[in-house]
Amino acid sequence: MRFTLNIWRQNGPNENGRFISYEAYDVSPRMSFLEMLDGVNQGLVANGEEPVAFEHDCREGICGSCSLVIDGIPHGPDRGITTCQLYMRRFPDGAIITIEPWRAAAFPIVKDLVVDRSALDRVMQAGGYVSVNTGGAVDGNALLIGKDQAETAMDAASCIGCGACVAACKNASAMLFVAAKVSHLALLPQGKPERTGRVTAMIEAMDREGFGSCGNQYECEAVCPKRISVRFIATLNREYRRAGIVESALPNASESPHAESV
């Protein structure tokens, strides 16, 4: 197979970028999208040109590194998969494919198709943790958790932090990501001690990083490689309201040791 690729090229964070057209020859339908790009890059290197920078690591759909907007859809035309699991047989031979980076103010472009997603890490640092006692390890299953509850928590926990939800959202909102993290921990007994402070801190961090607000358009759910459900966004909204009620009754506490300096 052969394809024409329109790829966004940008030398650095503050440079101007533009689309450059490349031809991909001798592509096997069994190649993944990233393998196809590897082929293009080999050709570029052989010609002494700069290869196209794109992010990847596991190439098996679990790490959340790969991040391409393919023909206007984050992670491409198939549902419930990451870019690395998209295969070229999905495209008609000779197709023209446009490849762009995640676009959001909170995700500055590092180079070409690589964006800096550490904003999501900072949101996690603000509250996406649980406290664990030191000392001997607790016996497995010492804490009993209902099957349904464990399953629902696992559904939320399967978020791999890729940021496709932000990329797809018209408002570049990170609500689905934050909803998944908050719901996951709020559902489990291990997450209870920080339950109230967590949701407030993570939403404050989300706003601070410059993500947009949620318009309940649900484009996030449609592109999420782990098919995280938007009902966790409703859970997040409930958690936030609960925190508002609980916290408004609390005396003003000193700064949390984990709070970031603004």
Partner 1 sequence: MTRLFSHFQSSVGSKVLLALSGLGLVSYVIFHMLGNLQVFEGPHALNRYAALLREMPILLWTARVGLLGIVVLHIVLALQLSLRNHRARPIGYAVRRYRRASVASRTMAASGAVLLLFIIFHLLHLTAGIIDPSASDRLDVEGHRDVYGKIVHAFQNPLIVALYVVGQLGLGLHVNHAVSSSLQTLGLEHAALNRLFKAAGPSVALLVILGNVAIIVAVFVGIVR
Smaller CB distance to ligand FES: residue 126 or 220? 220
Q: Which residues contact 136 (CB under 8 A, 6 or more apart)?
A: none
Q: How far is the CB of 56 from ligand FES (least distance, A)?
A: 4
Half-sphere exposure of residue 54, counting CA atoms within 13 Å on the CB side?
Answer: 26
- Contacts of residue 15, defined as CB under 8 A and 6 or more positions apart, other chains included, come to none
Taking CB under 6 A as the rule, does residue 161 contact ligand SF4? yes
Q: Which does 63 bind (CB under 5 to 8 A by kind): ligand SF4, partner 1, ligand FES, none?
A: ligand FES
| Contact between residue 202 and residue 128 where contact means Cβ atoms under 8 Å apart | yes
Q: How many CB atoms sit inside 10 A of residue 127's CB?
A: 24
Query: Is the separation of the CB atoms in 40 and 90 below 8 Å?
Result: no
Q: Which is nearer to partner 1, 87 or 218 (CB)?
A: 218
Whether residue 7 contacts residue 68, with contact meaning beta carbons closer than 8 Å, is answered with no
Per the CB < 8 A criterion, the answer to whether 60 and 66 are in contact is no
Query: Could you give the string, one character per residue 211-230, with x where binding to ligand HEM holds by CB under 6 A and - elsewhere?
Result: ----xx--------------
Query: Would you say 57 or 93 has its CB closer to ligand FES?
Result: 57
Taking the complex as a whole, the smallest distance from the CB of residue 167 to partner 1 amounts, in Å, to 9
The one among 106, 113, 160, 162 contacting partner 1 by CB under 8 A:
106
Q: Which is nearer to partner 1, 42 or 213 (CB)?
A: 213
DSSP secondary structure letters along 20-83: EEEEE-S--TTSBHHHHHHHHHHHHHHTTPPPPP---SSSSSSS-----EETTEET-SSSS--G
Q: Which residues bind ligand FES (CB under 6 A)?
A: 56-59, 61-66, 82-84
Say which entry of ligand FES, ligand SF4, partner 1, none residue 212 contacts (CB below 5 to 8 A, set by partner kind): partner 1
Q: Which is nearer to partner 1, 136 or 146 (CB)?
A: 146
Contact residues: ligand SF4, CB under 6 A: 159-165, 176-177, 180, 224-226, 228
